[in-house]
């Protein structure tokens, strides 16, 4: 894992956008996996700004979103379909036919996961953008999800519904189900960029990077990805930095107490 610690959210967003743009310039028809939530909004703003200044085009880019709620219409303001159009797609030149967001039509519930999964099989992602949930989820792979899962329908964790209730009138309005790429789909992406900001993410970020790889903290699997970059601000990196400093001090003390004898 490559860890980049930036000063604040603005810098995280700029850094993440520069990585994405570099990849698009190398391969204008790349397949990009996208996340919703508050973490990537700044990254999307930077991409929009670059597009408006004619620095980048998304004309041939194909996008694949990680997840979508089930139980609300695509037209609902809090659907991930609406989120992506509002925060990115309607501002850039991506073609509607190249946008892929998991379908959430409840009448087709039995086919939704398999259909989206075949699209992912046919189109390996070149880069996947991720955020991390306070319980360690990526996409909607909640703690306990088998690490070998591919796209599936998930019952959302109460913690996740609570975290996401800030976007709804109240917690009862937050859907109980969602469709999500599985960990296996995410790990199959050639490159992964995870962004996290704020002190409420500090503990989970530490566990993701330094804890053991376990399905109880799905994001820990990213330690095993060959090209994963984690971009943090000082607040979300605070536990990581504090523990690293403590370990360093302990090491120095041990070395002083038991000097190497000639
Ligand atoms: C959303 C998604 C989620 C979020 C995570 C963090 O598409 O995949 O895993 O990335 O819940 O959300 P924020 O960024 O709002 O803290």
Burial class (CB in 10 A: 0-12, 13-18, 19+), 205: buried
Domain ranges of the chain: 2-237
**Catalytic center residues:** 67, 135, 137, 142
In this prediction, residue 143 carries a pLDDT of 96
Q: Is the confidence at residue 20, as pLDDT, over 70?
A: yes
Locate the ligand 1 atom nearest the alpha carbon of residue 195 and give its number.
14
Locate the ligand 1 atom nearest the alpha carbon of residue 131 and give its number.
10
pLDDT, tens digit (0-9, with 9 covering 90-100), for 45-102: 999 999 999 999 999 999 999 999 999 999 999 999 999 999 999 999 999 999 999 9
Atom 12 of ligand 1 has which residue's CA nearest to it? 37
In this prediction, residue 79 carries a pLDDT of 97
Check: CB of residue 5 under 8 Å from CB of residue 234: yes
Q: Which residues contact 107 (CB under 8 A, 6 or more apart)?
A: none
pLDDT, tens digit (0-9, with 9 covering 90-100), for 139-164: 999 999 999 999 999 999 999 999 99
- The fold for domain 2-237 equals Rossmann fold (3.40.50)
Going by pLDDT thresholds of 50, 70 and 90, the confidence category of residue 166 is very high
Q: Is the confidence at residue 261, as pLDDT, over 70?
A: no
Give yes or no for residue 139 CB within 6 A of ligand 1.
yes
Check: CB of residue 194 under 8 Å from CB of residue 229: yes
In this prediction, residue 262 carries a pLDDT of 62
CA of 128 to the centre of ligand 1 (A): 13
């Amino acid at each position: 894992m490559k860890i980049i610690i930036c000063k604040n959210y603005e810098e995280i967003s700029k850094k993440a956008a520069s990585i994405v743009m570099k990849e698009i310039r190398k391969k204008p028809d790349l397949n990009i996996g996208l996340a919703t939530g508050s973490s990537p909004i700044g990254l999307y703003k930077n991409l929009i700004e670059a597009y408006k200044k004619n620095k980048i085009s998304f004309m041939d880019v194909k996008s694949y979103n990680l997840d979508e709620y089930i139980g609300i219409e695509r037209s609902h303001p809090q659907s991930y379909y609406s989120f992506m159009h509002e925060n990115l797609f309607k501002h850039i030149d991506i073609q509607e036919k190249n946008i892929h967001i998991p379908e959430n039509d409840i009448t087709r519930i039995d086919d939704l996961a398999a259909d989206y999964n075949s699209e992912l099989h046919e189109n390996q992602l070149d880069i996947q953008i991720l955020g991390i949930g306070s319980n360690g989820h990526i996409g909607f792979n909640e703690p306990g999800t088998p690490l070998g899962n591919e796209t599936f329908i998930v019952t959302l964790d109460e913690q996740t519904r609570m975290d996401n209730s800030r976007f709804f009138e109240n917690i009862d309005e937050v859907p109980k189900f969602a469709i999500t790429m599985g960990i296996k789909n995410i790990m199959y992406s050639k490159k992964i960029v995870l962004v996290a900001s704020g002190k409420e993410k500090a503990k989970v970020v530490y566990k993701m990077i330094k804890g053991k790889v376990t399905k109880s903290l799905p994001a820990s699997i990213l330690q095993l990805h060959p090209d994963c970059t984690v971009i943090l601000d000082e607040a979300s990196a605070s536990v990581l930095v504090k523990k690293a400093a403590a370990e360093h001090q302990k090491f120095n003390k041990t070395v002083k107490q038991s000097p190497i004898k000639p």
